[in-house]
A and B are shown apart, each in its own frame.
Chain A
Amino acid sequence: MQTMIEVRGLTKVFTLHNQGGTQLPVFRGIDFTAKRGECTVLFGESGSGKSTLLRSLYANYLPTSGSIHVRHRGELVALSGADSQTLLQIRRETIGYVSQFLRVIPRVPTLEVVAEPLRLRGVETAQAQARAGELLERLHIPQRLWSLPPGTFSGGEQQRVNIARGFIVDYPILLLDEPTASLDRRNAATVVELIGQARDRGTAIVGIFHDSEVRDAVADRIFHVQPQAATDRMAS
């Protein structure tokens, strides 16, 4: 199967310049590959760097060393060294990311929030909103809430809006940071279904799932993220 993400020797160390240059090593020398049509679950104890790895794949965090390549428009493109225009294009077309928290402009209606990624790709408003409605319906967000901004919604509702926003585009690569963390069984099942459908379409999925039931249902492969050894932390 085609490689969609290729990570080689990835090391991440946070340097806190205002704390006397304190170094916080997260992980070192990670090699990782994600394939087309496969769901890879990042696994590891709290603090092992799962989220840091996921964020690095989205170019939200910069690697300290090592490389990340993603397949964009048919070719493997290096994230580090890519200019902002290319990174923005990769995010618009190739990589979707569902974060744990919804961050949107206040007062924008939910339907528009969900439809936005499609709109940014040039899809007509009516068509984008129709698709947004379908997803919101599947995720059990009642229609009377669609015209309201999600800011006032419960945590679980906001997360579902976030999920709808992430799944509205058929991205070749989809990154999921605990998408089912505050969902009930019924909605978690919908997310499992959405993941399965995306995978069948050929999407490479990389995700963090604490719920073992969900994990077992979606994982084709488990990748163990090894934390930096405690002795290493002490040494720096």
Chain B
Amino acid sequence: MNREPLLQVRQLTKLHAPGKGCREVSFDLYPGEVLGIVGESGSGKSTLLSCLSARLAPDSGSILYRTDAGETVDLYQLSEARQRQLQRTEWGIVHQHARDGLRMGVSGGANIGERLMATGERHYGQLRATAARWMRDVELDVGRIDDRPTTYSGGMQQRLQIARNLVTHPRLVFMDEPTGGLDVSVQARLLDLLRQLVTELGLAVVIVTHDLAVARLLAQRLIVMRRSQVVESGLTDQVLDDPQHAYTQLLVSSVLTA
């Protein structure tokens, strides 16, 4: 392929304790690609995601990111200000707990509008209209636009967080169990929405999930982690239909339907 990777991860290691964290993880991520990371809890999935999104400095290894401007930068050689700027303008980070990704003190509409303002949109009517459209897209009641997220249910907060992250059309989105606490109907709508954005905007996604069915529908490629290491990787359907590693076989055979 002559397309250049968006992300080049090499020998990335961050260990909190032996076997806790991620060890020697390497992969490339291309524009328009969805990479799923699956594995048991405590396998290091979330640590890996934090390192990838410049929120947790690794012990060793490197992450090269190709910016919108076309330059390739080493994430952990950048200043913290530059890292934060990337997070705000080119990336989206969807946290497992919506509260970690939302500003609870301002309204739902402002949570979405704020991200837009960070990328230069200033027109109030425009901001509000866009916020309302995104609320509808993630199936939030637009009548709640002026309510604070503290008054939202957990599932609503999660959808608001996703809208807040996607409104600026980021190039790269990191997601930690994004559909975990959602009703299946809303989950389906979000999967559809994500797929559209991936196809139409060339959005790349790294998604940590324990739900193999979600991984199958969304991710073209899969990384399976166990005890801080990658035990298997490949095309999603190949990994799930013909798993090679004992752990992956156990994981797949333990699911009711995937």
Interface residues of A, Cβ cutoff 8 Å to B:
14, 16-18, 55, 59-62, 84-89, 103-108, 116, 119-120
Contacts and interface: CB of A to CB of B under 8 A. Distances in A.
Interface string B197-223: 001000000000000000011001100
Contacts of A106: 184, 188, 191
Interface stretch (B62-70, B85-93, B148-156, B238-246): B238-246
B30 interface: yes
A16 B253 CA distance: 11
B147 interface: no
Given A88-B220, A103-B216, A105-B217, A60 B189 contact: no
A120 B238 contact: no
Contacts of B250: 17-18
Contacts of B30: 85
A216 to B, nearest CB: 31
B74 to A, nearest CB: 22
Contact of A119 (B199, B241, B253): B199
Contact of A60 (B1, B3, B242): B242
B104 to A, nearest CB: 30
Contacts of B28: 85
B181 interface: no
B84 interface: no
B192 A108 contact: yes
Nearest to B185: A107
B32 to A, nearest CB: 9
A86 B220 CA distance: 12
Given A62-B244, A84-B221, 16 more contacts: A17-B249, A18-B249, A18-B250, A59-B235, A60-B241, A60-B242, A61-B241, A62-B238, A84-B235, A86-B1, A88-B235, A89-B1, A105-B191, A106-B184, A107-B189, A108-B195
Residue among A17, A55, A59, A84 having the largest count of chain B Cβ atoms under 10 Å: A84
Given A18-B249, A60-B241, A105 B195 contact: yes
B1 A61 contact: no
B105 interface: no
